[in-house]
Chains A and B, each alone.
Chain A
């Protein structure tokens, strides 16, 4: 029992970092533009399929595919902002609601395209290190979990440095805290929101590859991931990089440890209950100052 507890604590933490990187971009676009990008998880899933495709057809490691995915998804993010969000913002009265419906539609379209391209069958990523593990004493750490953890932490760290220590990153935070103040300080709002979307969708790509190292996926998995994303963002507070990391780790731990005591299929139920409790007790987020 104790052994299982330690083992699941470790793997819970590793999984938690993946949840964090999957969610942090969603949190950024929500904070900066009040847009709930429901398609965020669909982009993550697309990246998972691209990694799967490259590794199964060209024997390229999915992690290496990120060299293509990250810049490609950055451009996609800018495109989403320019084409969908900006036009909606000009026409709609309630941006949050109409953008939610619009990006939900986009997610459905993407799911269907992925179903046509890759069939509804669940996929398992096979890499050269799948099934291998590192042992720390009696505790086994799957190499895939370890790699996904390192990748996730690296991404979060880079994002933290960007948002807190570069002028453009500070401008992102400024726009989200006070758009009028940012505009009057000479911040180019269009450019900053473009960059925010680019980075958000690029991190979704990383999140998708990282998740695919841990979980099997099929063309509708993005809706499950979306639940994790909502949990992380609401727990960690909208727009906060560190909040997303902490919340991701907490949820990873919850998933890991509750898996010891209850059947795995019930774990998502536990998460839903946690989400409802959270919304009732601390709607502004647990970790929000």
Chain B
């Protein structure tokens, strides 16, 4: 569904990604782990068209994405829940969700999508008229996920959705992702909750210093004591 081939990305003269290749197949739950500064966010921002790669190819459902602008990529159903949530702080929960339905294919189903998001994340409905900036950290993360779902994605990428949240909320968010995947949504999850994220994953990749250093099924990587001990302290 999503293929990344030999991607090289630079910040000025600093190379952040080296020949990165990965693949996400339809219906899969794929996890990407790696320590701070490994290049995970850089990879997701490049896939979404916020950064231009120096070389390499990104294809989604057989179509080349290189050179497309971010809104074109969103329109094709490839949506990201970004690191740090990137909400609209002085807009209500409902308005934040509405913006999520901006891509034309999602626009007509806005009300139906909102119903579905509220069913999945009832906390958002309770806060529907509250400004996003006044929500708690957990609620903001729910809103970021809800906003992404409003676009009716076929592949959802999430960049550390559980960062800074209490363990019970982390678990709750992971359960939501698992449920969405069960309903047919393809997921690419970046997470430092290594054990939990690997246990949910069909397949996983390890990114280190801008290079993919390992890949395998979630179970294989979990069984690898080297990996679990290397990343558990994070």
Q: Are B102 and A178 in contact (CB under 8 A)?
A: no
Name the residue of chain A whose CB is nearest to the CB of B73.
Answer: A186
A-B contact count (CB 8 A): 74
Name the residue of chain B whose CB is nearest to the CB of A164.
Answer: B95
- Provided the pairs A167-B107, A174-B99 are in contact, do residues A183 and B90 lie with their beta carbons within 8 angstroms? no
Asked if B88 lies at the interface with its beta carbon under 8 angstroms from chain A, I say yes
Q: Are B102 and A187 in contact (CB under 8 A)?
A: yes
- Provided the pairs A174-B91, A185-B102 are in contact, do residues A180 and B147 lie with their beta carbons within 8 angstroms? no
Complex Cα distance, B101 from A57, in Å, reads 50
Q: Which of B102-129 contact A (CB under 8 A)?
A: 102-103, 106-107
Interface size on A, residues (CB 8 A): 19
Q: How large is the interface on B (under 10, 10 to 19, 20 to 34, 35 or more residues)?
A: 20 to 34
Asked if B141 lies at the interface with its beta carbon under 8 angstroms from chain A, I say no
Complex Cα distance, B95 from A182, in Å, reads 12
Asked if A189 lies at the interface with its beta carbon under 8 angstroms from chain B, I say yes
Name the residue of chain A whose CB is nearest to the CB of B48.
Answer: A184
Asked if A289 lies at the interface with its beta carbon under 8 angstroms from chain B, I say yes
Complex Cα distance, B207 from A187, in Å, reads 30
Q: Are A178 and B70 in contact (CB under 8 A)?
A: no
Complex Cα distance, B233 from A88, in Å, reads 47
Name the residue of chain A whose CB is nearest to the CB of B97.
Answer: A185
Complex Cα distance, B99 from A186, in Å, reads 8
Most chain A CB atoms below 10 A, which of B85, B98, B99: B99
* Residues in B lying within 8 Å of A, measured CB to CB: 48, 50, 69-71, 74-75, 79-80, 82, 85-91, 95, 98-103, 106-107, 147, 151
23 interchain pairs, CB-CB under 8 A: A167-B102, A167-B107, A170-B91, A170-B98, A173-B90, A174-B88, A177-B89, A178-B86, A178-B88, A178-B89, A180-B82, A181-B87, A181-B88, A182-B99, A183-B71, A185-B74, A185-B147, A186-B74, A186-B103, A187-B71, A188-B71, A189-B71, A289-B90
* Residues in A lying within 8 Å of B, measured CB to CB: 167, 170-171, 173-174, 177-178, 180-190, 289
